[in-house]
Amino acid sequence: MKIMLVDESAERSLYLRLTLERLGHEIVAEVADPRRLYDEVRRQSPDAIIIDTESPSRDTLEHLCLITESCPRPIVMFTQDAKRESIREAVRAGVTAYIVDGLAAERIEPIIETAVARFEAFQSVQAELAQTRSKLSERKLVERAKGILMKEKKISEEEAFGLLRKLAMDRNAPLGTVAEQVITFAKLLG
């Protein structure tokens, strides 16, 4: 796995890098300044990000939010900060695993595997949610287009749906696209 390390302490970073390399991971970058985090993730495209910090800084959390929005990855944070608000802020920023006082070599691999598995599960749920929203939006468009056709052509709901479906097949276009075109055309005509 290609991993990016984020740590302001060169000594801690060295320990973590050596441990991860011994476990067979490739360290693609080491970032000491959290303000460089987003740019380095875009440039290096790591499989996962591991952060070792006393307490997550505002800069770190802001850059993690940007990463989570535009190029999400599993993020493991080792820290000494056990405050409830710090944990919540880190999770909101996209941290997959927040580990307090847990940087022991034998625990690193299971923690990474757990973070990756949780990340993949979350991404799957997000994709399913986006697909459901898209289908719902399309369904709303189809219902509006059917209503327009029923009113203008004085036909039944079944006939309106059949007409929409035929238009979609004739144009080799998705039903939602054709429904949107019908709605747009109706708006243009007043």
**pLDDT tens across 134-168, in order?**
999 999 999 999 999 999 999 999 999 999 999 99
**pLDDT tens across 115-126, in order?**
999 999 999 999
Q: How confident is the model at residue 105 (pLDDT cuts 50, 70, 90)?
A: confident
In the CATH scheme, what is the homologous superfamily, with its name and number, of domain 2-103? Response regulator (3.40.50.2300)
**pLDDT tens across 31-74, in order?**
999 889 999 999 999 999 999 999 999 999 999 999 999 999 99
Query: What span, in angstroms and rounded, lies between the C-alpha atoms of 66 and 68?
Result: 5
Closest by CA to 65, choosing from 99, 37, 98, 43, is 37
* Domains in the chain: boundaries: 2-103, 132-189
The pLDDT of residue 37: 93
The pLDDT of residue 175: 94
Place of tokens 């747009």: 184
Q: How confident is the model at residue 103 (pLDDT cuts 50, 70, 90)?
A: confident
Closest by CA to 111, choosing from 84, 77, 81, is 77
Give the CATH number of domain 132-189: 1.10.10.10
Instruction: Let me know if the fold of 2-103 is the same as that of 132-189.
Output: no
The pLDDT of residue 49: 96
Query: What span, in angstroms and rounded, lies between the C-alpha atoms of 155 and 138?
Result: 21
The pLDDT of residue 189: 86
